[in-house]
Amino acid sequence: MRDFSYLRAGSVEAARQAAALPGAMLLAGGTTLIDLAKCGVAEPDSLVDITHLKGLDKVEVSERGATIGALAKMGHVADHADIKSRFPAVSEALWQAASAQIRNMATIGGNLMQRTRCPYFRDPSNFPACNKREPGSGCSALGGVTRGHAVLGTSEACIAMYPGDLAAALVAFDAIVHLGERRVPVDDFFLVPGTTPEREHAIEPGEMITAIEIPHSAAARRSTYLKIRDRQSYEFAAASAAVGIEFEADGRTIRDLRVALGGVATKPWRARAVEEALKGKVLGPDAVRAASLLAVEGAVDHGANHYKIELAPRVVARAILKMGETA
Amino acid sequence: MTSQTKTTIPVHLDINGHRHTLQLEPRVTLLDALRDRLGLTGTKKGCDHGQCGACTVHVDGERVLACLTLAAQVEGRTVTTIEGLAREGELHPVQAAFLEQDAFQCGYCTPGQIMSAVACIREGHAGSDEEIREYMAGNLCRCGAYPHIVAAVRQAALEVQS
């Protein structure tokens, strides 16, 4: 790991200014950044440590929704009583992510800035070509081992999968990212690679995530996060689904439905086609399974990741039917 | 590759109740500071990338990975390592349970397992074998001593709670 200078920020304003300088990066939990510095992917000249800032680690639930401070730890938010009761999918996405140790370090703001686990991106010495790391250098994943790569939202420049769990739940429930005064819907905060895979987030130099806001909804209250992976725990999703549902008074006709996918796309992936196909319908296995196929509309595989196109609709269907069972 | 002048910064650390002041390059992790500068080699370096849990220590009472924590970041916080767990020569109940249940083979992952288990019990995440397996998932054991590790955590959780 190349050395860097270290600055402990005394205020959000000071942190923003220091991090706007060329070669500077914000340091929160460090679970992505220090790892990538060791891999030679991140080569910051200076790190601006924001973990000692006060007042940014609170979880506040009001009539409008939940506001989660950017420095709240993943583990604390997962165990928060109001998050568990009002936003179960958010709590479940968090406790199924990473390990207990990492969840005690990683912050909510930092979680949104998590980078891909693409093994070619993470290994610059063996794979110099990576458009995400070095724009225009090519993509080593194309023609490589693609079992963990995305099938949705890919481009000719990049097929790296977005690995996070939390963001799928946030996208499903229309969360809003607070960048100081500026507000960005979380679905717009994450960018598909297109021709600029190096740009992953709608955040400008000198901006810093200060909070995430999740509005209340009946669907968020009746929600779940279903994560399927190669091993039982401490693993990224092979495919996952954040699902929330609201029924009409009859308890079986779907009034509102939210579906977002993890583990299969280049960004947290809202599956609006599934939602629209089922709204107004009576919940039933056949209708749900048929509609869930729409989750992977337009999917493109690269050989070894074809299974994700089969798996994702089944995960979606299972999650929706599980939410229906509790009617 | 820009060349940088090697600069060090003073870092004040509170480890197992002892104060230390070290002159460190900012990039030095808590793990390397513990092992290479303070001689506290009980905390192990496994993968050095946050994937194995061998370097688990407590910062302000919570389990974290020392390999992904910069030493400079924990200034002003309280660090506990495996060396700080026993009280006046008496093993911590989790240490005793690991011995009693034979919860290790080679022992390399054991300090991390024990530090993780102490926190797991304190968090209230050791209520069942299933919960123990989930909340201890961040500590890998290449020897595969998992059934005995789960038994040790279960035993210690009952002792600590009673």
Distance, in angstroms, between B132 CA and closest chain A CA? Answer: 11
Residue B9 pLDDT > 50: yes
- Closest by Cα among B57, B68, B71 to B10: B71
pLDDT interval class at B6 (50, 70, 90) = low
- Same domain? For B99 and B151 the reply is yes
Residues of chain A short of pLDDT 70, as ranges, are: 326-327
Residue B161 pLDDT > 90: no
CB contact under 8 A, A99 and B53: yes
Closest residue in B to A232 (Cα) is B134
- Same domain? For B16 and B76 the reply is yes
Residue B155 covered by a domain: yes
Give the CATH number of the domain where residue B38 resides.
3.10.20.30
The rounded distance, in Å, linking the Cα atoms of A77 and A92 is 10
What letter would DSSP give residue A8? E
The rounded distance, in Å, linking the Cα atoms of A237 and A230 is 8
Distance, in angstroms, between B96 CA and closest chain A CA? Answer: 23
Q: What is the pLDDT of residue B1?
A: 35
- Same domain? For B48 and B21 the reply is yes
Residue B63 covered by a domain: yes
Q: Is A67 helix (H, G, I), strand (E, B) or coil?
A: strand
- Same domain? For B116 and B149 the reply is yes
What is the side-by-side strand order in the sheet with A5-8?
A5-8, A46-49, A24-27
Residues of the domain holding B150: 93-161
The rounded distance, in Å, linking the Cα atoms of A289 and A298 is 18
Alpha helices, DSSP H, located in chain B: 30-32, 93-100, 110-123, 129-135, 146-161
pLDDT interval class at B3 (50, 70, 90) = very low
Chain B positions in Cβ-Cβ contact with residue A45 (cut-off 8 Å): 2, 4
Residue B131 covered by a domain: yes
Mean pLDDT score across all residues of chain A: 97
CB contact under 8 A, A52 and B76: yes
Q: Are A151 and A309 in contact (CB under 8 A)?
A: yes
Q: Are A73 and A106 in contact (CB under 8 A)?
A: yes
Residue B86 covered by a domain: no
- Same domain? For B156 and B128 the reply is yes
Question: What is the number of domains present in chain B?
Answer: 2
Rounded to the nearest angstrom, the gap between the alpha carbon of residue A13 and the centroid of all alpha carbons in its chain is: 26
CB contact under 8 A, B65 and A1: no
Rounded to the nearest angstrom, the gap between the alpha carbon of residue B68 and the centroid of all alpha carbons in its chain is: 12
Q: What is the pLDDT of residue B119?
A: 98
What letter would DSSP give residue B13? E
Q: Is A7 helix (H, G, I), strand (E, B) or coil?
A: strand
The rounded distance, in Å, linking the Cα atoms of A111 and A100 is 14
Closest residue in B to A2 (Cα) is B27
The pair of structure tokens assigned to B99 is 């011995």
The pair of structure tokens assigned to B122 is 């304190």
Which of B28, B52, B81 represents a domain boundary (last residue)?
B81
Report the C-alpha dihedral over residues B60, B65, B70, B72, rounded to 10 degrees.
20
The rounded distance, in Å, linking the Cα atoms of A209 and A68 is 11
Q: What is the pLDDT of residue A325?
A: 82
Residue B2 covered by a domain: no
- Same domain? For B64 and B23 the reply is yes
Give the CATH number of the domain where residue B110 resides.
1.10.150.120
Is the pTM above the cut of 0.90?
yes
CB contact under 8 A, B138 and A5: no
Which of B59, B81, B103 represents a domain boundary (last residue)?
B81
Q: What is the pLDDT of residue A324?
A: 87
Q: Is B30 helix (H, G, I), strand (E, B) or coil?
A: helix
Residues 6+ apart with CB under 8 A from B128: none
- Same domain? For B44 and B98 the reply is no
Residue B153 covered by a domain: yes
The rounded distance, in Å, linking the Cα atoms of B114 and B136 is 10
Residue B3 covered by a domain: no
The rounded distance, in Å, linking the Cα atoms of B12 and A45 is 23
- Same domain? For B33 and B55 the reply is yes
- Same domain? For B42 and B105 the reply is no
What letter would DSSP give residue A216? -
- Same domain? For B31 and B69 the reply is yes
Chain A positions in Cβ-Cβ contact with residue B2 (cut-off 8 Å): 45
Rounded to the nearest angstrom, the gap between the alpha carbon of residue B114 and the centroid of all alpha carbons in its chain is: 7
* Model confidence pLDDT, tens digit, residues B50-98: 999 999 999 999 999 999 999 999 999 999 999 999 998 899 999 999 9
Residue B4 pLDDT > 50: no
Residue B2 pLDDT > 50: no
Residue to test with chain A: of B68, B116, B146, most A Cβ within 10 A: B68
Q: Which domains does chain A possess?
A: 5-49 (3.30.43), 220-325 (3.30.390.50)
- Same domain? For B104 and B72 the reply is no
Q: What is the pLDDT of residue A326?
A: 61
The rounded distance, in Å, linking the Cα atoms of A186 and A278 is 24
- Same domain? For B76 and B16 the reply is yes
The rounded distance, in Å, linking the Cα atoms of B65 and A98 is 12
Which of B46, B81, B116 represents a domain boundary (last residue)?
B81
CB contact under 8 A, A102 and B120: no
The pair of structure tokens assigned to A191 is 């960018």
Beta strands in chain A (DSSP E): 5-8, 24-27, 46-49, 59-61, 65-69, 176-179, 182-185, 211-215, 223-228, 239-247, 254-262, 269-270
The rounded distance, in Å, linking the Cα atoms of A266 and A197 is 10
Chain B positions in Cβ-Cβ contact with residue A34 (cut-off 8 Å): 29, 67-70
Residue B42 covered by a domain: yes
